[in-house]
Amino acid sequence: MKKTKCAACDCGLGPDAISVKLGGKMVEICCEECPEALKEAQNAATAAVATSKD
């Protein structure tokens, strides 16, 4: 089943949806700004996991 919402902001995906690779998976996003939001979220999650292991 194809996703109908952006992986970053939950907006609806239109015909101009963009596919990007995140954590080894392909996800679809709605615009050019969303890959940066996903990257920041992934970096924050990675930092949180690293901090919790200390």
For 11-32, how does the pLDDT look when each residue is reduced to its tens digit (9 = 90+)? 999 998 999 888 788 999 999 8
**How confident is the model over 2-8, as a mean pLDDT?**
84
The pTM assigned to this predicted structure is 0.66
- pLDDT value of residue 2: 67
Measured CA to CA, the distance from residue 53 to residue 39 in angstroms comes to: 21
- pLDDT value of residue 1: 53
- Which residues on adjacent β-strands are paired with residue 26? 21
**Number of residues that make up the chain:** 54
